[in-house]
Amino acid sequence: MSVIDGYTFLSVITVSLISFVGVFALSLGEGLLRRYVFLLVSLATGALLGDAFIHLIPESFAGLDSTLAGILVIAGMLLFFILEKALHWHHYHGKESEETHLHDGEMVSAGELHPVGRMVLISDGVHNFMDGVIIAASYLAGFPVGIATTIAVILHEIPQEIGDFGVLLHAGYTKKRALFLNFVTALLAVLGAFVVVLVGDMIDPVIAWIVPISAGGFIYIAASDLIPELHRVKGGKKSLAQFVAILIGVAAMLFLLYMESGKSQELPTQLPLVYHSTE
């Protein structure tokens, strides 16, 4: 196993362990959690956008024709759109009057809850598998890109796992079973990374495509899933706090790029691509 493979699996295992954040969230108390979770969502929004526009897209433009890279970014957005549509279709089809949904951070129920729990597990499993693929592909594209993507995924996973854990509890699962099932789905990130590492050199030509597709996916998650949630929060002070948290998320991605450059005067215009031959 190479050093990059080691970092890849360390990263996806760390991401998988984020599933236990639900227990920590419960210890804080529901009131305190609801009061500050919007800051976590804001931070995740900035990190995802920062990773996409500061790391992944420049990396894509350095390794691909700019038009093709742009098309692949759009393809990534559409891929995640289709994936989310498919999951929601299975979720609502034929039983719209019995669904449970989130509204302003609370579960609103109109019938049987258990189907919601199963759909959360399926959706989370698919999402975590994709996270594993994206993290592994990012490390193959470059060590700093892999680190930045891992941090962005972790920041996104924290509020998501808290929400998923809460939905499972509302769906009738015990705390122990909800925690176990959440962790099992989180382990699919390890499986996604393993698939990428397993195929090894055979995936090298594909890495150049996966990176911009991943960028499109991150943009879609931030713009379609996270930012609408931020608009639910009202009030000038909280809105300002959201904006600052988003900037902190973006600044964290910029700081990683700055540290990698090893220069205090200027940032690099591009990162080295390890999927290019060095022979």
Residue 92 to residue 217: CA distance in whole angstroms:
23
Residue 33 to residue 199: CA distance in whole angstroms:
42
Per residue in 60-84, pLDDT (tens digit) is: 888 788 899 999 999 999 988 887 7
The pLDDT value recorded for residue 73 is 94
Per residue in 144-175, pLDDT (tens digit) is: 888 888 988 888 777 777 767 766 766 677 77
Listed residue (54, 130, 126, 136) closest to 91, CA to CA = 126
Other C-beta atoms lying within 10 Å of the C-beta of residue 116: 23
